[in-house]
Structure 1
């Protein structure tokens, strides 16, 4: 046996302790990351389940989603979305009990509701928890004792590729939808609602190639039904907004097969809205406009695609008009460019966003700033996002947006990361208003922190802006290449 000198033994022991400590930290990080992945998988599972009547018929489909949420809720790690996860788990148990009609499923749902009320007595989700049906004449719960809302008006606007219908309401409501074929009809049942006095079964004739007419009736004493008669089968999206309360229904016409030929670049802020301002007075609106114009030149020169700018000078454009331009022009891609900011002057890095529920508190804060909203007010959009995720057509667009975000993120790592010491903050999701109504793959790029003195100095320089524009261009180019490859694969796998 070879005897090692005492000094080497001590060194190896110390090295073992250091590696062990790093392994512990790494495993903790991986554990936290894997939990977040489980939560995203659970939400996706639930969205697909609720969007498919066929899947909802099978018990194992419900149990698959339930297991994912249970795994996330049971994790020993502290996560910001455990409250939401338990609420979603409660929703699934209630849904399963309705689907199966079994007493044990109803009992489990009641247990989960009780667990939620004990753990989160002040939760805003409590008002959304449905009371399970009771046998016999039990007492009506407080949640069932509600004042009926009023449907005050039905309005509509026709666009080249979609028709928007708005239901004006007296307060927030819940609703469900039904799709009917032959004739094609979309019916929205608005719960605990009555028609405003004098409204009385409104009928609106449209005939715009997408909708033929809209009819609102008092379907039951406590339910209003609004029926949208369609020219042909169509995709649709339903979103609730507050202040004032209204339900917005977008019904989409038959899309043209265009390829990825028209790209909209949206430099954030502008005019009276300077966006974030650095310590040395550099404004976000000036930086992102310059980067956007550089990106436009790169696309036209190298890809030959049509490029539209939401603004090409220092003017203020409301958020809703930015995606209206993209939708009205039937754009194929939408990219919104912004510079990040934080009260923490040390915060730095590049991150790419797609539409979704906020992945963390910093993502929520970023969305609140870009939306010009308080973080608390922004949380109400999460319920809107949840409803959107239940729409299969929207899910497809969001999936494509994630691919677009991934190619852009990789391009930033490749181009900007090699030339500058840049912190990679990855791909995230948040409820950005400017992305909500985009009818095409869309992302929002936070190109650096203008609040960080080092990054503000870089953002003021032409070489850094040019490198950012090149990174965004490469992300778009790689997405187009990947999309064309996917199309060829789909074509080659088609059975005649």
Structure 2
């Protein structure tokens, strides 16, 4: 125990050093774990008490991968890693290591509803070495085990291939992460505060997020109006090997909350059974936002139909779909989810499953027509399948498209097409025009006509959802 006592005498501080027994926040202070800067929420403080670095247990749990338990009644903090257990009590300088009593220089404290514990004591007892750069105000933590690195390519100059995250959203009690390849997430449930941590190994951010988010910085998902979800934040937790971390912070979390994951159509879906949260009614919570799934037809190995100038349908549907997405992202009462955002091919069942899993309010599949044997054929037609609400949606969007584009009106038709037949919400398939008609193909590929078509689709969706135009 003398070794532990000596270690405590050399505990270091992450914040501005205080002349007395107090604490203060130091935004410039950093914690580096195995060469990677730890990302801390803005409302979390590292404090300096009696010349000891005190760190919130939420940071210990999320970043150092310790299992932390908090007993509100006894004010006890239990920190566990593998078979080793530390037990500390707020306000008491006596701790327990594997049931052996240890004297602390500084007792854990409860500050702003967050428990802070001695960083050096906890870290060294859990096998981490600690260093202190007083000039730069940096604490360095080094673990005894080096994390595995994905094997590099044998081809000189070829970089390691990480999976990429292109978009992160939270809707209908589900975290939706758009990715270019399937990744098995590591899910951790933590308390004080209640969080679900989603780690994506061998994963980094794509250009959509990465250009605005550097390592060591944090992004947040808009969860305003969503019951029982306080915050969804994400960051590049590690650079080499790359690792993306998403943290879902909840207001209350009971033991029976179920977390399920599935990978559908290029989307990792982390489904939270929020009915298990204390105080939530048996019906799913309603954020007040309508969920709209936009499906750019075909993609990847499936080019779709071929136009008069050898245009591939997939190269028309994706740009138009992305324009629709951009417009819907500006709507505060709509959550938009894309079946694809790049040149990939989600199967038709995967597109259906995505929309049904999200319990979407509207599904819109975008296509282009072609009949090479009849290059004079032209016009817009819209398909639905049997359901009256799908017929209503089809009528509205079709009217907006005809008014905006001026193409020949080929009408609204009932069609036995898988993506509108097997989806369970109002669903339509739009044939914007004929790529096999030279004049119509040129118009459909132009920015101006695509802008008009995108706006018409959005106007139709908003009208169907009874949202102000």
Whose strand fraction is larger, Structure 1's or Structure 2's? Answer: 2
Whose helix fraction is larger, Structure 1's or Structure 2's? Answer: 1
TM-score (norm 2): 0.38
If you compute each CA radius of gyration, which structure gives the higher value, 1 or 2?
A: 2
Q: Greater RCO between the two (CA within 8 Å, min separation 6)? A: 1
TM-score (norm 1): 0.36
